[in-house]
């Protein structure tokens, strides 16, 4: 098995996204008075992260299939 693993976000980036999400929600609630206005950007950030993880998983699967095909060609 290879040592490849999908890239992970550093704690600093996760903390930054968390802080940005909290600030967006606080602004939406305290200044605008509309919770949904704050939830939309937070949900878009979460959705973007999930898409990124799916792409990383598909890349890992494609890499594994390619390694299997190369091994079968050598045999």
Q: What is the pTM (predicted TM-score) of this model?
A: 0.66
**Distance between CA 6 and CA 58 in Å, rounded?**
10
Cβ neighbour number for residue 28 with a 10 Å cutoff = 19
Q: Which residues touch 11 (CB under 8 Å, ≥6 apart)?
A: none
Question: Domain map of the chain by residue range?
Answer: 11-74
Q: Which residues touch 17 (CB under 8 Å, ≥6 apart)?
A: 45
The model's pLDDT over 8-21, given as tens digits with 9 standing for 90+, comes to 777 888 888 889 98
**Distance between CA 75 and CA 66 in Å, rounded?**
15
The model's pLDDT over 55-72, given as tens digits with 9 standing for 90+, comes to 888 998 999 999 999 999
């Amino acid at each position: 098995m290879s040592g490849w693993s999908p890239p992970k976000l550093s704690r600093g980036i996760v903390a930054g996204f968390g802080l940005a999400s909290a600030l967006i929600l606080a602004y939406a609630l305290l200044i605008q008075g509309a919770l949904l206005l704050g939830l939309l950007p937070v949900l878009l950030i979460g959705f973007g992260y999930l898409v990124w993880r799916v792409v990383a998983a598909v890349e890992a699967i494609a890499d594994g299939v390619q390694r299997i095909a190369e091994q079968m060609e050598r045999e």
